[in-house]
């Protein structure tokens, strides 16, 4: 009786002290790599559209719309803002990260 109880207690101790398994680490790393690669792809497509072609972003959601026609779009870890100048009838797009102010753009 004592031997089987001791084995059971040791098994429970191993389970409690067990760290994250190698399989779950690989799954977590794969998910993180997939999110980062998608973010880079989305950012590069929207960067090319906004900076080179002066077109609205594809992978962003319009969040804030201002009275003068300007808008803020939010994407995966970045933002794009449309700056509309009614006097010149011109629209410019700027890119930046979520926490950066508008006057600091890429």
Domain spans, the chain: 20-96
| pLDDT value of residue 51 | 85
Whole-number Å distance between alpha carbons of 49 and 30: 29
Whole-number Å distance between alpha carbons of 98 and 58: 17
Are the beta carbons of 93 and 54 closer than 8 angstroms? yes
Distances, alpha carbon 74 to alpha carbons 9, 42, 65, 79, in Å:
53, 11, 12, 4
pTM attached to this predicted model: 0.68
Per-residue pLDDT of the chain (106 residues; tens, 9 = 90+): 566 787 888 788 777 766 667 888 899 999 999 999 999 999 999 999 988 888 889 999 999 888 888 888 998 888 898 888 888 888 888 888 887 776 665 5
| pLDDT value of residue 94 | 86
The residue to which tokens 């680490």 are assigned:
25
């Amino acid at each position: 009786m004592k031997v089987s109880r001791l084995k059971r207690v040791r098994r429970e101790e191993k389970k409690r002290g067990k760290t994250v398994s190698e399989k779950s680490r690989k799954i977590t790393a794969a998910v993180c790599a997939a999110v980062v690669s998608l973010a880079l792809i989305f950012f590069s497509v929207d960067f090319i559209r906004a900076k080179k072609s002066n077109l609205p972003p594809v992978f962003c959601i319009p969040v804030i719309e201002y009275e003068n026609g300007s808008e803020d779009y939010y994407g995966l870890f970045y933002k794009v803002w449309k700056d509309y100048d009614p006097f010149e009838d011109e629209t410019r797009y700027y890119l930046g990260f979520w926490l950066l102010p508008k006057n600091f753009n890429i």
